[in-house]
Structure 1
């Protein structure tokens, strides 16, 4: 396998970001959700207008993972008021982290989480948090292995279905 490169995304990367977002979300959830719900989510969340709004938000950052110049995954971080829930102004949210199915098990997700931890430490965030669907057992094992602990839950609406996301966090800059 070639070396994985992680690059910060900009408006220049908008179409690449849209393609990898739709691809990875669909690969991750299409088998366990209706085609209509997946299609609606992709259309609402990953249209160019929505992604432009997110990528130009000064409190959000995107990183795209590449293998041989091909996008294979991405990470979206939110700070401050860009967080989907304001649990702590000084927290960092992993809003999205997805890897192409062909690269599952090849440490790409680990590289993306490591990038989030590095940024959280640089920005002296108190902790990193994220929401993960309670039925996404692979992701839950991955985050638990990385030291994240469940601390709450919330409802995630996917089309006409309510799903429960577990909220998990990782302390990164403990106060002495």
Structure 2
């Protein structure tokens, strides 16, 4: 993540993202997240090289929505050099096939409202905006805290 995250997101943080990386991707936090039986964490490999991460959370309803069991795409980060090659779409298809087998199990995610390229990608994959909220980490520059929740009925 120290290679993948900064080129795209360093501008969000006064310290270039070091605080966030150390908080979210520490060994301690990873161990804590892996204790959740509904959490699935993956490394994304391409040409025998790790080029990203993927985290899915099962049985995770969208806040403010109905209480159906849903699947949350909690994290998907791919190396900037690999973006645009169709891997993101392949990963979404894999998530849908593996975790959203029941047609009543929607897939949802959160995306920064300033990440227009990501929003267009998700919309092109069938997601629709389902709400807004503010990312509450005070270390992030306030102008970038706006978020969308997006959902796809698979």
Over aligned residues, Cα RMSD in angstroms? 2.1
**How do residues 153-172 of structure 1 correspond to structure 2 at under 5 angstroms?**
153-158=132-137, 159-162=139-142, 163-172=145-154
Name the CA distance, whole Å, in 2 between partners of 1:161 and 1:39: 13
Could you report, residue by residue, the CA deviation over 1:92-117 in whole angstroms, capped at 9, with x for unpaired residues? 11110111011011111112111221
Q: Runs in 1 of length 4+ with deviation above 6 angstroms?
A: none
Structure 1: segments with no counterpart, 5+ residues: 1-20
TM-score (norm: length of structure 2): 0.86
Could you report, residue by residue, the CA deviation over 1:137-156 in whole angstroms, capped at 9, with x for unpaired residues? 11001000000000101111
Structure 2: segments with no counterpart, 5+ residues: none
CA contact under 8 A between 2:54 and 2:76: conserved in structure 1?
yes
Residue 107 of structure 2: aligned partner: 128
**How do residues 85-164 of structure 1 correspond to structure 2 at under 5 angstroms?**
85=63, 87=65, 88-122=67-101, 126-158=105-137, 159-162=139-142, 163-164=145-146
SS at match of 1:167: strand
Aligned pairs, number: 150
- The structure where helix makes up a greater share of residues is 1
CA contact under 8 A between 2:6 and 2:16: conserved in structure 1?
no
Could you report, residue by residue, the CA deviation over 1:136-175 in whole angstroms, capped at 9, with x for unpaired residues? 0110010000000001011113414341111100001xxx
Residue 16 of structure 1: aligned partner: none
Pair 126,84 (structure 1): closer, same or farther in 2 beyond 3 Å: closer
TM-score (norm: length of structure 1): 0.76
Moved more, 131-140 or 150-159: 150-159
Residue 28 of structure 1: aligned partner: 8
